[in-house]
């Protein structure tokens, strides 16, 4: 399946109200010697698109409410929501159904 077809599949799922995104561990942008746990997600709800971003140092997971960066923004347009997530470092080619606990 081509990259473009994969994007169409997850975009159609979002249009049907499904949550799509991914989580990963990556180097921190401002401190590459450290790691951070990241979660990106998107869904359509009540005619708008919700974009979710979450980041925390894996060592701080036990105090996540004090140390995490979390944003849930609503956009009128799919492309705006996707642009926001990409501006936070998301790779749309990795968007897929969540296994286990979903961010929303």
Residue 70 lies in a domain: yes
Residue 104 lies in a domain: no
Q: pTM (2 decimals)?
A: 0.87
Residue 101 lies in a domain: no
Q: Which of 10-14, 27-31, 90-94 has the lowest mean pLDDT?
A: 27-31
Residue 98 lies in a domain: no
Residue 23 lies in a domain: yes
Q: Which band of pLDDT confidence, cut at 50, 70 and 90, is reported for residue 20?
A: very high
Residue among 70, 51, 52, 50 at smallest CA distance from 60? 70
Residue 56 lies in a domain: yes
> What residues contact 34, with CB distance under 8 A and at least 6 apart?
27, 28, 57
* Distance (Å, whole) CA 31 – CA 34: 6
Cα–Cα distances in Å, from 62 out to 23, 37, 57, 65? 18, 13, 10, 9
Specify the number of domains making up the chain: 1
């Amino acid at each position: 399946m081509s990259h473009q077809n994969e994007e169409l599949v997850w975009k159609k799922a979002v249009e049907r109200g499904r949550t799509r995104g991914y989580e990963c561990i990556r180097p921190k942008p401002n401190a590459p010697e450290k790691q951070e746990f990241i979660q990106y997600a998107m869904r359509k709800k009540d005619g708008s698109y919700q974009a979710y971003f979450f980041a925390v140092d894996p060592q701080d997971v036990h105090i996540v409410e004090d140390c995490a960066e979390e944003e849930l923004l609503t956009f009128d347009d799919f492309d705006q929501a996707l642009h926001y997530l990409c501006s936070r470092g998301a790779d749309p080619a990795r968007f897929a159904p969540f296994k286990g606990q979903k961010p929303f």
